[in-house]
Structure formats: structure tokens, C-alpha cells
């Protein structure tokens, strides 16, 4: 049974994230989406809100569950008996950002990271840009699941 963990800040969940989780769910037996703490990023949605958003978004996928964790990702993976971490890669910049984390995680517990290229039509979307566009009053609906767009508007 192959259990993998899809970690991220997911703040907010974008169509790019949805693409990666749905494709991972077709490849692996069980996918645990984990809202993990990124000390480099400031949050917009509370962690509990992000978990609830993703539970709703992936409720049609019986092999996907959503959780959160505030410690080291590798410890979460060990607790869940995960065989690998799955991350989406949009660009060279993503690869350069992700590769050191993959190596550190491998050194810490031996867990591997599998990179899935984001579908081309979605590879320009990032939570950071969505937050910026939203902050300046732009339309973010093209980049987000409808439920997330709605939640964002409610935050106004």
C-alpha cells in the first residue's frame, strides 16, 4: 500500500494544487494532504480554514485525506507510514527551491520526494501572486477553485 504525503502551505489552495493532488490520487493508493508550517510565509487563512477548504474540495476522492502539522514534515511522514513526499514543480525556480528540502528530508529519515510537473496551463499560478492580486482588488477567480474564491471574497 503506497501512502504519500502532499505537503504545502496551501494559503490559499489554488487550481495548481488541486491538479497535483488529483493526479497523485490516481497514482498512489493513499494521499494525505498536509498543511505544514512554512516559517518563510505569512498566513492569510487560518490552518483550520485551509484544512476545511481542502476537505470540501477533495471529498469526492476516497483515497485523499487532509491533515495539518506544525513540526518537521519528515516526522509527520513517519507517523503516517508514508513512503514518499509528493510536490508539484512549476518551473526551474521551484526545482531549485524544492531540491534542498528534498535532500534534507532524505538525510533526516530516508524519505524520498517525488516531483510532479504541474499541468502546463496552470504552471504560472502561485498562492503568493493570488494574494497580491487580491490585495490590490484584482480578479482571482481564474486561479482558484470556486469555493476558495468565495471564501476570499468573504474575507474582504
Which stretches of the chain bind ligand PNS, using CB under 6 A? 7-9, 36-38, 41, 72-73, 101, 104-105
Identified catalytic residue from 9, 17, 50, 87? 17
For residue 107, the minimal CB distance to ligand PNS (Å) is 9
| CA gap 90, 115 in Å, rounded | 10
Q: State the catalytic residue, choosing from 9, 50, 87, 90.
A: 90
Which residue, 62 or 104, is less far from ligand PNS as judged by CB? Answer: 104
17 is catalytic: yes
Q: Which is nearer to ligand PNS, 41 or 155 (CB)?
A: 41
Between 83 and 101, name the residue whose CB sits nearer to ligand PNS: 101
90 is known as an active-site residue: yes
Please pick, among 2, 41, 59, 141, the residue that the annotation labels catalytic: 41
**Pairing mode, strands 30-36 and 112-117:** unpaired
70 included as an active-site residue: no
> Residue 144 gets which letter from DSSP?
S
Cβ proximity of 97 and 65 under 8 Å: no
Running DSSP on this structure, what letter comes out for residue 140? -
Identify the active-site residue in 9, 50, 127, 151.
127
Q: In the annotation, is 41 catalytic?
A: yes
Least distance from ligand PNS to the Cβ atom of residue 36, Å = 4
Query: Any bridge partners for residue 67, and if so which?
Result: 34
CA geometry: angle 150, 21, 3, nearest 5 deg: 140
DSSP letters spanning 83-123: SEEEEEE-SHHHHHHHHHHHHHHHHHH--EEEEEEPPGGGT
Question: Which residues are the active-site residues?
Answer: 17, 41, 90, 127
Amino acid at each position: 500500500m503506497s501512502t504519500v504525503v502532499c505537503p504545502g502551505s496551501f494559503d490559499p489552495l489554488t487550481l495548481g494544487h488541486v491538479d497535483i493532488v488529483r493526479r497523485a490520487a490516481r497514482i498512489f493508493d493513499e494521499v494525505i494532504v498536509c498543511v505544514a508550517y512554512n516559517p518563510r510565509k505569512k498566513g492569510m487563512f487560518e490552518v483550520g480554514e485551509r484544512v476545511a477548504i481542502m476537505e470540501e474540495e477533495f471529498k469526492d476522492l476516497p483515497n485523499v485525506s487532509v491533515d495539518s502539522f506544525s513540526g518537521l514534515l519528515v516526522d509527520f511522514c513517519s507517523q503516517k507510514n508514508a513512503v514518499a513526499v509528493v510536490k508539484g514543480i512549476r518551473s526551474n525556480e521551484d526545482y531549485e527551491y524544492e531540491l534542498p528540502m528534498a535532500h534534507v528530508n532524505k538525510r533526516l529519515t530516508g524519505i524520498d520526494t517525488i516531483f510532479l510537473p504541474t499541468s502546463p496551463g496552470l504552471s504560472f499560478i502561485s498562492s503568493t501572486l493570488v494574494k497580491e492580486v487580491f490585495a490590490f482588488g484584482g480578479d482571482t477567480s481564474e486561479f482558484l477553485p470556486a469555493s476558495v474564491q468565495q471564501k476570499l471574497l468573504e474575507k474582504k
